[in-house]
Amino acid sequence: MPGWVPIIGVLITLFVLGFTGAPLLVWAIAGAAALSGFGAPVWVWAVYGVLVVLFNVTPLRRALLSSSVMKTMEALQFLPTISETEQTAIDAGTVWMDAELFSGKPDFNKTLDQLYPELSDKEQAFLDNEVETLCAMVDDWDIHQRGDLPTKAWDYMKEKRFFGMLIPEEYGGLGFSAEARSAVVQKLGTRSTPLSITVMVPNSLGPGELLLHYGTDEQKDHYLPKLAHGDMIPAFALTEPNAGSDAGAMESRGEVFRGDDGELYVRLNWTKRYISLAAISDVLGMAFKLRDPDNLLGKGEDLGITCALVPSDADGVKLGRRHDPLGIAFYNCPTEGEDVVLPIDAIIGGADGAGRGWAMLMDALSAGRGIMLPAQSTGGLKYFARVAGAHAAVREQFGLSIGKFEGIEEPLARIAGYAYILEAARKYTNGAIDSGEKPSVVSAIMKYQATEMQRDGVNDAMDILAGNAISRGPNNLLAFAYQGTPISITVEGANILTRTMMI
């Protein structure tokens, strides 16, 4: 037999084992066969035997091989270190059905056992009455011409407590479930994006939610009723020119000091941008890094990220000119603070809350990210199905409804499929949140997938409506949805970061 035949045999075997991902034991047997075929001497067999045992007996492999490889990698600093803010983000929230999905062997009975939430009678009535009435009050084209919602809509939202959906009834709010909040935003978004964003902001991460979970009793009693009735419009200020996705890198600073009256105060300086509702806010939820140079709180000098409530009319607070978020007419602006002095009680949770801001934010986002933007995207997909479906039925070209062309059926089917997937995922995730979970990974998946499906959906709908979706005017049913799509891709964790880092 020529010498190259066994070599080719070995190469083919290596290829097959590698291609099929054969277990280590199969590699060991194949190696033994090769050694035997080549007539290996006894000492080679001995070395080979030791290696086989070392690699195949898991406890031995871990103790002798893996741990020393890991130690060497750590010593040579091959692996990046995880900062405290990153670790807090990783630890935030709870693990829910994601554990099953990522196990590779999900228990489908457990998957089906989860809460599939329904609206209460009160929530359903709100959807059928107040939400319908509000939708009838606004005209999306008119909102975009004026750059604001009509006054009667603002008054109605305040009167009917649209801004207090997550605030419990004992504080004057509506005390709605995640499923109900999601249903309201979903519906409003089909009428007007500025309308749904305006309702969404006070009902997601911000003063209301943070106070609810971490506020002192005095803070809750003072703020929650005002927030619930819309007497105070809140905004939440995290993002800065040099701290967007990497919010933990914020440069806004707070310093604890003792005033002449003997009381403790915080002096704040900040530069924030892209802050929704800030332009018309009464209170800003402010995230900053807190220092206590004289250790007055007894927790050390660098306390870390902290959240406080800043009245928008406090001395030193500047609310900037409105940003123009792609022409979508909701309020959004930069804000600066110069030597703004607040009592220590302005910190959410009081002095105990000093330095706990990052953990509060990460925990709140673990649930919140899964509710509002996915609701808006789901509503968007249903809306695209209706608009594009109707258009495809009535618009005729070549003597046929365009919906009869396979090329149009394909995007229509995709829109319908995505709407179905998202409606199921929306309810399923809301069920988790309403059962007390804060499923951080699932929320990130929802945020990413829902907004990406909405982006695909609006592109499909635009293609189907063609010229009808391009000439702007009151009868263009898609232009603003198309224009505003990058906003949901960007906020609450820009999508590339959400996919590659969080998920």
Ligand X SMILES: Cc1cc2nc3c(=O)[nH]c(=O)nc-3n(C[C@H](O)[C@H](O)[C@H](O)COP(=O)(O)OP(=O)(O)OC[C@H]3O[C@@H](n4cnc5c(N)ncnc54)[C@H](O)[C@@H]3O)c2cc1C
Longest dimension (CA), the chain: 100
Does 494 bind ligand X (CB under 6 A)? Our answer is yes
Strand partners, 270: 337
Residues between 260 and 289 that touch ligand X (CB under 6 A): 274-276
Distance CA 210, CA 85 (A): 18
Does 358 bind ligand X (CB under 6 A)? Our answer is no
Decide: 209 and 284 in contact? Cβ < 8 Å.
Answer: no
Selected range binding ligand X among 67-75, 298-306, 443-451, 491-499, rule: CB under 6 A: 491-499
Does 501 bind ligand X (CB under 6 A)? Our answer is yes
- CA contacts within 13 A on the Cβ side of 254: 26
Does 245 bind ligand X (CB under 6 A)? Our answer is yes
Catalytic position from the list 130, 179, 209, 492: 492
Does 238 bind ligand X (CB under 6 A)? Our answer is yes
Residue 81 burial (C-beta neighbours within 10 Å; 0-12, 13-18, 19+): exposed
| Tokens 């190259």 -> residue | 4
Does 497 bind ligand X (CB under 6 A)? Our answer is yes
Comparing every residue's Cβ against ligand X, the nearest one is 244
Distance CA 381, CA 416 (A): 8
CB of 294 to ligand X, least distance (A): 30
Residue among 276 and 366 whose Cβ is closer to ligand X:
276
CB of 500 to ligand X, least distance (A): 4
Distance CA 456, CA 467 (A): 18
Does 384 bind ligand X (CB under 6 A)? Our answer is no
Residue among 164 and 325 whose Cβ is closer to ligand X:
325
What is the enclosing helix (H) or strand (E) of 291? strand 283-291
- Whether 100 is catalytic is no
CB of 274 to ligand X, least distance (A): 4
Residue among 428 and 482 whose Cβ is closer to ligand X:
482
Decide: 126 and 174 in contact? Cβ < 8 Å.
Answer: yes
Neighbours of 118 (CB within 10 A): 12
Selected range binding ligand X among 173-181, 298-306, 450-458, 484-492, rule: CB under 6 A: 484-492
Selected range binding ligand X among 68-76, 120-128, 455-463, 493-501, rule: CB under 6 A: 493-501
- Residue type for 81, please? T
Does 138 bind ligand X (CB under 6 A)? Our answer is no
| Tokens 């959807």 -> residue | 127
Selected range binding ligand X among 142-150, 179-187, 289-297, 490-498, rule: CB under 6 A: 490-498
Residue among 279 and 432 whose Cβ is closer to ligand X:
279
CB of 373 to ligand X, least distance (A): 11
CB of 239 to ligand X, least distance (A): 3
Neighbours of 112 (CB within 10 A): 8
Shortest CA distance to 249 belongs to which of 257, 262, 240, 236? 240
**Of the candidates 244, 320, 350, 389, which one interacts with ligand X according to CB under 6 A?**
244
Does 92 bind ligand X (CB under 6 A)? Our answer is no
Decide: 265 and 342 in contact? Cβ < 8 Å.
Answer: yes
Q: Which two tokens stand for residue 435?
A: 């059962």
Does 237 bind ligand X (CB under 6 A)? Our answer is yes
Q: Please give the distance of CA 53 from its chain centroid, rounded to a whole number.
A: 47
Does 90 bind ligand X (CB under 6 A)? Our answer is no
Does 239 bind ligand X (CB under 6 A)? Our answer is yes
Selected range binding ligand X among 38-46, 159-167, 394-402, 494-502, rule: CB under 6 A: 494-502
Residue among 236 and 428 whose Cβ is closer to ligand X:
236
**Taking CB under 6 A as the rule, which mask of x and - marks residues 319-348 in contact with ligand X?**
------x------x----------------
Selected range binding ligand X among 63-71, 73-81, 237-245, 289-297, rule: CB under 6 A: 237-245
Using CA atoms, how far residue 268 sits from 258, 262, 357, 358, 480, in Å, is 14, 19, 15, 17, 38
**Taking CB under 6 A as the rule, which mask of x and - marks residues 392-421 in contact with ligand X?**
------------------------------
Residues between 155 and 214 that touch ligand X (CB under 6 A): none
Does 26 bind ligand X (CB under 6 A)? Our answer is no
Shortest CA distance to 183 belongs to which of 170, 169, 165? 165
Using CA atoms, how far residue 349 sits from 89, 246, 306, 307, 352, in Å, is 20, 24, 10, 9, 6
Does 85 bind ligand X (CB under 6 A)? Our answer is no
Size of the site for ligand X (CB under 6 A): 19
Decide: 155 and 98 in contact? Cβ < 8 Å.
Answer: no
Residue among 89 and 402 whose Cβ is closer to ligand X:
89
CB of 232 to ligand X, least distance (A): 16
CB of 277 to ligand X, least distance (A): 7
Outline where DSSP puts E strands in 423-468.
none
Outline where DSSP puts E strands in 292-354.
302-311, 317-319, 332-343
Neighbours of 461 (CB within 10 A): 28
Distance CA 366, CA 444 (A): 8
Q: Where does this chain bind ligand X (CB under 6 A)? A: 236-239, 244-245, 274-276, 325, 332, 487, 490-491, 494, 496-497, 500-501
**Active site (catalytic) residues:** 492
